Amino acid sequence: MQSFRTEIENPVVEKDIIELADKIAAFNNLQIDEEKFRSLRLARGVYGQRQQGVQMIRIKLPYGKVKSHQLKRIADVSDEYSRGRLHITTRQDIQIHYVDLNRTPQLWAELERDNVTLREACGNTVRNVTASETAGIDVNEPFDVSPYADALFRFFLRNPICQEMGRKFKVSFSASDEDTGLSYMHDLGFIAKIENGIRGFKVMIGGGLGSQPRHADLLYEFVASDKIIPLMEGVLRIFDRYGERKSRAKARMKFLLKDIGLDAFRELILKEQKAIEFKSVKIDADAYEVSKPVTVNAPKVEIKDQKAFDLWKSTNVIPQKQQGFVAIGIKVLLGDFYTDKARLLADLVDKYAASEIRLSLRQNILIPFVKTDLVPFFYQELKKLDFVEAGYNKAVDITACPGTDTCNLGIASSTGIAEELEKVIAKEYPQYLENEDLVIKISGCMNACGQHNMANIGFQGMSVRTPEKLVAPALQVLLGGGNLGNGQGVFADKVVKVPSRRGPEAMRRILDDFEANANGLQFVDYYKEKGEKYFYNFLNDLQDTSNLTQEDFIDWGNNEVYKKEIGIGECAGVVIDLIATLFLESEEKIDKAKESFVNSVYSSAIYHAYSSLVNSAKAMLLAENIKTNSQANIIKQFDEFYITSYKINLQGSFSDLIYQINKYAPKEEFAKKYIKDAEVFLEKVRIFREESVAKAVVNN
């Protein structure tokens, strides 16, 4: 194994980083299956890139809050390990690209010096907990949701119940009924409410985007704040056990909820409560560290272009509920900026604001706690960084994922077309510079990282074939989506598919029609009034592929003829004994259970033992080529194949053995017994497997 040590003071974090280094070494030595290694590194924020031999690193920044010293640390890391570019995502993370896999442990160790983590930024885990970027300063919020988002992030980080789920799990917090956290498209969405003087949340569940967008259901109208962590633990336990694991396309919470129904899901949550150690988790919002603005005198500033300043001020300066302060929005084209600007920005907010920035869901930057008399000075300083483009969160502010620039799954360029559309709006539709009711979003594929199917006008990267079977880059045009507030939203309709080079013309026609006929209606309402067929009729001719020019075969932002390439392999596969590997993993889970037990964390000890039991049973079913698609089915099928046929004797069913987990409270006595049960079970099935293999050898 690779010899690697950190200087991290936190032993838990140090162990994480050393484990990643050791697993990388084992993978390089062909000791770990590619699929298993992928799962481990993704949960550590290391993601395969479209370009072979390099990785994308996703830095997990809960609710988009970044302190100035953290931003400097991220900039240093990007310069040392990457190319000096930072990319803000639609989940308030920062990504850096082109990183050598073997250097990722050192990179992570450097980030942790300023309490910045990669842990669970990717993979089948609870992803970054997002929130309204105006949380804590929002003039309409009933209270600051930041402490609650922070507490939830910390509780579930490294929590054994959500380390190896069937798929990712996304959570959001909205500061007010405006629902700027977009609760309706999340696995769990929380909207701040106060009832009878008690802080709490409206809870939405089972939303999602992708190829089959689903509007979240209302789980509870109001849940007191001390109940949100136990509630989420119950939801995650059910998702882990019953969620699909065979077909990734159906492995999200939205499909599980659709299959079993909302009422049945609520019942399962109730049944799980006995296994949950903490029935109430009080979140001390008063103890949450709030950034305090500095007190400085405003330097004298001479504004040379008053018109430009006034326009910027009208679109990029946001009122705060704290008297005497405003927030300043920085429009970041496609979420990309460079480390030199990052450092200067960090210095600016450190000296003249509250030493923090917020990253937004629209890939922008917000500076909170700017004294009103400092606004001209900030304009002057931000202008030096080229950070004063007007139109923060307005129509001209287009959201886009990286697309074919770096993503394995990208089909067409999203960044290239986004840049072109922003130019068109700025030049031909300057009135939309101040329009915040028109939202345009672009994704490079159906997975919707750019959130295209919840936009007023959305574009999805695709490809089209000509009558001669030539392939050109294309865009699916989607219309009519939008956030209606308070947990309600509408998803866009797919209207037409046009060659990518015709994207600007499609947008021109849509905006021209909207300008001429909407009569003051917002786009969502106008689209609803006119209907899909109306828009299809005046866009239909753009779908014709019989008359493409040479330029149509070159995607935006590229010089070469388009080639459709999806899912390029990250590295070569290796041949291993998968059954033996699963047994080794079961041993590791038991070791983790014992470690948690020694530390008196009985709930974690029990869940590690549960995971070992499931893993061991899965190994035995795979040995017989029995396919499984959920943990619940593994348990059921093991009983059917091994217990009812008397192949293995457990003195009872496997279901009875394993489902002790939700029948006993997580106390010391039960944890000790359950760990022993997992050990005995692993030993029993291992012996059975060895004897079966030996018999097969003799018979052959």
Tens-digit pLDDT profile for residues 197-222: 999 999 999 999 988 999 999 999 99
Question: Does 477 fall in a domain?
Answer: yes
Buried b (16+ CB within 10 A) or exposed e, 479-516: bbbbbebbbbbbbbbebbbbbbbbbbebbebbbebbee
Contact in structure between 160 and 604 (CB atoms under 8 Å):
yes
Of the residues 553, 569, 589, which one is the last residue of a structural domain? 553
> Is 80 domain-assigned?
yes
Q: What is the CATH number of the domain that holds 615?
A: 1.20.120.330
Judge if 518 and 619 occupy the same domain. Answer: no
Let me know whether 143 and 181 are in one domain: yes
| Same structural domain, 136 and 266 | yes
| Nearest CA among 661, 583, 649 for reference residue 618 | 583
Same domain membership, residue 241 and residue 168:
yes
**pLDDT band (50, 70, 90) for residue 565:** low
pLDDT at 6: 55
Longest dimension (CA), the chain: 92
Give the pLDDT band (50/70/90) at residue 66: very high
385-410 mean pLDDT = 82
User: pLDDT (tens digit, 9 = 90+) per residue, 223-245?
Assistant: 999 999 999 999 999 999 999 98
Query: Is 76 inside a domain boundary?
Result: yes
Instruction: Say which CATH number the domain at 491 has.
Output: 3.30.413.10
3-state SS, residue 219: strand
Q: Render pLDDT for 9-33 as a digit per residue (tens, 0 to 9).
A: 788 899 889 989 988 998 888 887 7
Residues 236, 341, single domain; the answer is no
Q: Is 446 left (phi over 0), alpha (psi -120 to 50) or beta?
A: alpha
Taking 60 as the threshold, does the pLDDT of residue 1 lie above it?
Answer: no
Phi then psi for 147, rounded to 5 degrees? -60, -30
The CATH number given to whatever domain includes residue 35 is 3.90.480.20
Q: Tell which of 253, 287, 321 closes a domain.
A: 287
Between 14 and 248, residue with greater pLDDT: 14
> What letter would DSSP give residue 297?
P
Tell me if 217 is assigned to some domain. yes
Under 8 Å between Cβ of 447 and 403: no
Paired tokens of 671: 């944890």
Same-domain status, 68 and 186: no
d(CA 238, CA 218): 17
Rounded to an integer, what is the distance from CA 409 to the centroid of its chain? 16
- Give residue 307's pLDDT: 94
The verdict on 410 and 379 lying in the same domain is no
**By the 8 A CB rule, do 132 and 174 touch?**
yes
The whole-number average pLDDT for the span 548-565 is 83
Of 71, 79, 122, which Cα lies nearest the Cα of 359?
71
The pLDDT assigned to 576 comes to: 39
* 311 and 449 co-located in one domain: no
Distances (CA, A) of 136 to 176, 181, 229: 11, 14, 21
pLDDT > 80? residue 101:
yes
Quick one: pLDDT at residue 7? 67
Q: Is 44 helix (H, G, I), strand (E, B) or coil?
A: coil
Note whether residue 6 is domain-resident.
no
- Domain span at residue 423? 399-553
Structural domains counted in the chain: 5
pLDDT interval class at 436 (50, 70, 90)? confident
Domain annotation covers residue 567: no
Same domain, 324 and 380: yes
For the chain, what is the mean pLDDT?
A: 91
Q: Is residue 118 part of a domain?
A: no
Q: Give yes or no: residues 142 and 265 share one domain.
A: yes
Say yes or no to pLDDT of 568 above 60: no
Q: Which of 66-80, 292-306, 401-415, 651-665 has the lowest mean pLDDT?
A: 401-415
Q: Residue 212 domain-assigned?
A: yes
CB-count exposure of residue 518 (10 Å: 0-12, 13-18, 19+): middle
Q: Which of 47-61, 365-379, 430-444 has the highest average model confidence (pLDDT)?
A: 365-379
Confidence of residue 577 (pLDDT cuts 50, 70, 90): low
> Which of residues 61, 80, 112 is at a domain's end?
112
Q: What is the pLDDT of residue 398?
A: 84
Cα distance between residue 65 and residue 87, in whole Å: 15
| Same domain, yes or no: 249 and 378 | no
Same domain, 512 and 628: no
